[in-house]
Amino acid sequence: MVFFADFLTKNRTWHALVGYGAYFRKHSRVLVLCGTTLALTLPCAALAQDLVDDPNQIVLPNEPVAPPVVVKPLSWKNIPEILGNQISAPRVGVYAGYTRLVFDLPKDTLLKVTPQSSGFSLELIGVKLAHNLSEEKTSNELSSWKMENTSSGVVATLKTAYPIRDNNGGYKVLAIPHGIDSPNDRLVLDMSPAFANRTPLALEQMALEPFPTGFQMVLDPGHGGNDPGAIGAVIEKETTLKVALMVRDLLKAAGATVNMTRVDDQILSNDKVTDLKMRGQMGKAPQNLYVSVHVNSLKKSNALRGYGLETFWYSNNVESKHLAESLNTEMLNLTGSFARGVRNANLAVLRNSEVPASLVEIGFTSHPVDGENLRNDAYLERIALGIARGIRNFIGIPSELPK
């Protein structure tokens, strides 16, 4: 029996004839033979990956599909005014990719929110419950919550199903005073591992240490022209260019020379393999390093599984891993994003570069919350500054620039 599986990237399809173990590209330019058994499926996928720029956009066969989320939206209307100081259970909204809790509180309630390693402690001063409350397995994001009377008011303890991170990573909190649309004060807490810091940066935070004289590098905004890249909340080619231009400006202000693979909506070659090769081959002396910017994506049925930052390197140069680690560290510091890690991958732009090279995936256009991050200019500025600082820290104070 011949069993067909599709390896989909945004532009290409590989058909895997697992029964015969042969993998070939749609346009038959490359034929890769991988043996004859089902057990060789994954190594074959790794070979196919060799040709592409975004390893996560390859869908592996037998990938477990995320269970559907049962969406339970919140009602915002007709919440009665709280008279006196007795409060009740939070309203819970369950949405694709995040959970929202709303605590309705009497006017001018004092409160304190303390993030913990896997949840939150909320102190609500001067209020009380008729009796203690709790719930288990609230949603994918919220494992449990409980509310208890204390001597000073009510303490709510929330347990998230994922770690809460520094720098506002993994949640959004908003205290809304009573007003036109609500007779009560409200504390709104949104929980998702994909929430990142979207606070605008101050101008003085954007400055870098000056670069050593003669430093120059290649910056590659992924895709362009008739290759849009991944499409979802944002179009990949637009976001990669936006971020790369921000990075370029930050680096130039610190004295670096930045050579872009593109500065507008174009591509180097209409042939994808040639395009990637041409981009990668710009990474040679006298350039000191190479950075490629991409946006990630998963197919719709698994969109909720993919969020956060990921950074790739390849053994094209002994310093490539250090560059990737430096970029990853600084992007995470600036954004508080979910960390998917630093990984080795034989990607075309990295393989074809001779100088230290890294490819950053700055979020998933397919995820509802990551998609909102990517549509937010303050988030993109934080990513850009993270990349710029990562480059500057990698250079350090060298007596000799990397080659």
Residue placing its CB nearer to Zn ion in the complex, 148 or 271: 271
CB 26 within 8 A of CB 4: no
Backbone angles phi and psi of 102, in degrees to 5: -125, 120
Min dist. Cβ of residue 85 to Zn ion (A): 54
CB 386 within 8 A of CB 196: no
Q: Report d(CA 172, CA 269) in Å as an integer.
A: 42
Residue placing its CB nearer to Zn ion in the complex, 97 or 222: 222
Which 8-state DSSP code applies to residue 165? B
Min dist. Cβ of residue 54 to Zn ion (A): 4
CB 293 within 8 A of CB 222: yes
Residue placing its CB nearer to Zn ion in the complex, 140 or 292: 292
Residue placing its CB nearer to Zn ion in the complex, 94 or 380: 380
Residue placing its CB nearer to Zn ion in the complex, 186 or 294: 294
Min dist. Cβ of residue 40 to Zn ion (A): 27
Q: Which residue type is seen at 278?
A: M
Query: DSSP 3-state assignment of 326?
Result: helix
Edge-first strand order for the sheet with 119-125 is 110-116, 119-125, 153-160, 142-149, 133-136
Q: Which residues bind Zn ion (CB under 5 A)?
A: 53-54, 222, 229, 294
Q: Which structure tokens are listed for 142?
A: 């919220």
Q: Which residue is nearest to Zn ion (CB)?
A: 294
Beta strands 110-116 and 119-125, pairing class: antiparallel
Min dist. Cβ of residue 11 to Zn ion (A): 10
Residue placing its CB nearer to Zn ion in the complex, 55 or 106: 55
Residue placing its CB nearer to Zn ion in the complex, 90 or 222: 222
Closest CA to 156 of 222, 109, 89: 89
Min dist. Cβ of residue 37 to Zn ion (A): 32
Min dist. Cβ of residue 294 to Zn ion (A): 4
Q: Report d(CA 312, CA 260) in Å as an integer.
A: 19
Min dist. Cβ of residue 298 to Zn ion (A): 13
Q: Report d(CA 77, CA 264) in Å as an integer.
A: 46
